[in-house]
Every structure is written in C-alpha cells, then in structure tokens.
Amino acid sequence: MNSKYENLFSSFTLPNGTELKNRLIMAPMTNFSSNSDGTVTDAEVQYYARRSSGVSMVITACTYVTPNGKGFPGEFGADSDDMIPSLKKLAKGIKDQGAKAVLQIFHGGRMCPPHLVPNQDVVSASNIPAEGDDNPTPRALSESETEDIIKAFGDTTQRAIEAGFDGVEIHGANGYILQQFFSPHSNRREDRFGGTLEKRMTFPLEIVHEVNRVVKEHADSSFIVGYRFSPEEQETPGITMDDTLALVDNLANQELDYLHVSLMDYRSKPRRGVKDLNKSRIAYLLETINNRVPLIGVGSIYTADDAKNALDTGVPLLALGREIIIDPDWVQKLAEGKEEEIITELDTDKQKELVVPDPLWNIITNTPGWFPGIH
C-alpha cells in the first residue's frame, strides 16, 4: 500500500466500542431491485456481497417501517415480522464478506408515490406538497398517527436485531419524513411536533430515543445506531445551514454512534444561514460536533486522492456510493497499492461482472450525468 493512503486503513472505534477495520464504508443507495412483496431478491444479496469484502461497514438501501412509508418501486420492507427471514438473508450476505451490516430505516412521507401506499393515502407533517410538478398533496398526520410512526421505527429496529444486523441508520435526510417534520416548508403544525425550530426537532429526536430504547432492551452494546441528515433545502421557507447546525448540536448528545451527512460533493459550501459561505459544510459540521460523535462524509469520492483529501478535512469515516458500484474492488485495489487500476467511469458493458441487478442498472444507464461515464 502507498503510505500516503495508510490512514484510510487504520481501524476506528465507534462510541459504543465497536471496531471498524478501516475508514471506508458503503453508502446507502436505493437499488429498486426487491420483490413486489417487499422481500429481498437473490440479485440484491449478490450485489451487496460483491461490495462487502473491502469496506468496514455496509449501509443498506432504505427499508420502509410502515406500509404507507414505501418510497420507491422495488424497495424492500421491514414493516412486519414476516420480513425477518428476508432481512436475515441480506444481513448474512454482507456479514459473510467481513463487513458490518447496517440497515437504513425510513419512511418516505410526502415523497411516496401514491400507487405504492395503501389507498394512495400519502401522509406527511402537514398537507403541503413537495415543490415541483405532479407531487401529491399529502394528508397531515394526526398526533397519534405520528406517535405510531415513531413506534414503528423502534419495531423495525427490533426486527433488524432479530435478523442479525449489526446496526441501524435512521434516515433523516433527502427530503423524507424526518426531514419533513424538521423543515419549515413541509411542517406547518401547531401541536407539539411543529412551530418553533425546537418543536420541529421533536419527531426526529423522539425516533432516536425510541430506537435507542429498543436497542438497550433487545441488543447488546455493540449494536450501532447512526443518523443521516441533509444540510440544507432549496425551498423558502426551508432548512438552512444554521437550522441543521442546531439539530446536529442536539443529535451529538443523543448516544448515537455516528452522524452521516448526505452530500453530492464533500467539498460543497453552504447556501445560506451562516456568516461565511466560503467555508465548507463539513467544516461547519465538525466545528459544531466538536468530537462528540463521529461524522461520516460522502460525496464525489472517486479516486484514491479524493478519499485522502476527504479524510484530511477531519471526518473520521468516508462513505463510497456511486464509486463502489463503478468499481466494487476499489478498497482492495487501494489496499494492495494498485490505486492506478481503480476505475472511475462506469463501463456499460460490464453489468454481469459488476453484479448490478437489472432494475438498478436500467436506471443508472438511463440517467445521464448521474454516474461518470453515462452521457
């Protein structure tokens, strides 16, 4: 191994004492490839297994915690105990290759396509549709329904424990239901779940408390709990960088094992809400967290030097998303000093070799600009 990349391969101990063998993680990415009944397909298990031997931890695609939380076609479910055998297959496929398996738990809220949820009953914090054409107007959840969803996150965590996962990641990013409750765009409530910035934090924080309660009751201390968030929204009103720093400041005190920022580029800068718009979002986040909890950085890490530069920002852990689809052997190549052999553009003739399921492959290859090499 080239000595300048050694730090990427040093082990890292999470706050709960769990040791990760290196600083490289597979990012959660929707794959659209599950069965219509919400069970995991063999193609999905093979896709994950192919990418699980180099990284220290794999965070799965999101799984829905209630039937009305299904956000994507071909998304796998964890909304009932019937799903535990399916989840076991996925956890085993990852762990057999030597990586920690973390299940990302999720509810799509107003972003759910109506045809995927029972009675086309799309729900959210308030009856405000997402900006853009043809987005459904959601029904505002009652206070008791909101509490039921909080409990569902706990129930799904218990299923993850029973299925053999090493942890869960609470999906509070990318415009889904936790973010909808936190956002002044989508949350216009006047009960305990809305109004002030602090009240808009109630729903995500209660989910963290419920997940932690279930973990303490049903898992041992090595079970990992992480939280993913997006730093800002484009909408006005919407989440600003200073709103997120207030949330992150609170999350850093919640007995979490990591926070995970969702970014398209780890070098990105704030849009609004802070004094210095030339300072990176990562720098602001690290300053606010102040070593209380590890931060996972992600976004446009393709080459070995991209990874080194991202680690040099001060984040202790890096998640590889698109790059680990393009080159499933990325980590191994770097470890063996073969960084010159790392592939950074998708070869559209190598689907079988890359072990990418058909539905995911079709979306990637028909979305110009999403992956390097797809024009």
Question: Which residues have a catalytic role annotated?
Answer: 176
Class of residue 286 by CB neighbours under 10 A (exposed 0-12, middle 13-18, buried 19+): middle
Tell whether omega for the bond before 113 is within 30 degrees of 0, i.e. cis. Answer: no
Cα–Cα distance list, 91 to 103, 130, 139, 311 (Å): 8, 33, 34, 28
One-letter amino acid at 15 equals: P
d(Cα 127, Cα 262) in Å, to the nearest integer? 26
Q: Which residue has the tokens 């689809």?
A: 325
Asked whether the beta carbons of 172 and 182 are under 8 A apart, the reply is: yes
- Say how many Å lie between the first and final Cα of the chain, rounded: 33
d(Cα 103, Cα 83) in Å, to the nearest integer? 13
